[in-house]
Amino acid sequence: MSDKKSTEGIYTDFTNKMTYGEYLELDRLLTSQNRLSNHHDEMLFIIIHQVSELWMKLILHELRAAIRSIQTDKLATAFKMLARVSKIQSQIIQAWDVLSTLTPSEYMEFRAKLGQASGFQSYQYRMIEFALGYKTKHILAIYKKDPVLHQRLAEAFQSPSIYDAAILALNKHGFHIDQQLIERDYSVPYETNPTVEAAWLEVYKNVDQYWDLYQLAEKLVDIEDWLQQWRFRHMKTVERIIGHKPGTGGSAGVSYLKKVLDHRFFPELWDIRTKL
């Protein structure tokens, strides 16, 4: 096929038509990488974090929709969304491999320019933690500078997590769940409950009977597994670049990141594996 024939029909006149760049607002997107230093590698640092924030935006979009689907007993709809979250998580994990090409010497050339700005302050990451059930009230103080954002975070903090929605689904499907969990304050961190463990154990012992609940449980385990892998790669990348220095935002750095690796979002789903 000639070059002329292969390009026939391609639009070239966009005088009154929307272009690809306009649809994606690329002018705004690609002019948002503003280095505060003249160091070459600051561009890498900015782009990695911006891309991760875009992926987190999509994770939140999917998680919120999945929670609504579970609450309305549309479990099959939620499965697609949760599977997509897991795929997104794999992309974010791989981003650490790119950032780890930044050496300690290179990072020190522009680290001071960050001031107290830190990934620790990522409000989207906090919203993901809230959506998964990890509620830490003291974190909200970081966002008081922006009243609108603070209100959004406060609302997310008070809202049911995806695990709360899953527990209510167990109750709707006839499992006995403590009434205090059905009516609980969602801002209070979830603690392991024997009725929830018994329900999940029954689901795993009777997979054919409770196939949808079993699939929901496995999708949640996938997400927690990937998130812990993300946390581990985060910790190792930070250790590789700054060692055990404090974070720019005032956190303890690597020691803090190691500590959160011990946290579990969906404890009963892990405990039952020993008891099956």
Pick out the residues of the known binding site for substrate.
45-49, 107, 111, 248
CA distance 231 to 96: 10
CA distance 163 to 235: 25
Q: Which two tokens stand for residue 245?
A: 């220095």
CA distance 219 to 217: 5
Closest CA to 149 of 186, 122, 183: 122
With a CB cutoff of 8 Å and minimum separation 6, the contacts of 1 are none
Q: Which residues are annotated as a binding site?
A: 45-49, 107, 111, 234, 248
CA distance 63 to 131: 7
Q: Which two tokens stand for residue 161?
A: 């997590």
Q: Which residues are annotated as a binding site for heme?
A: 234
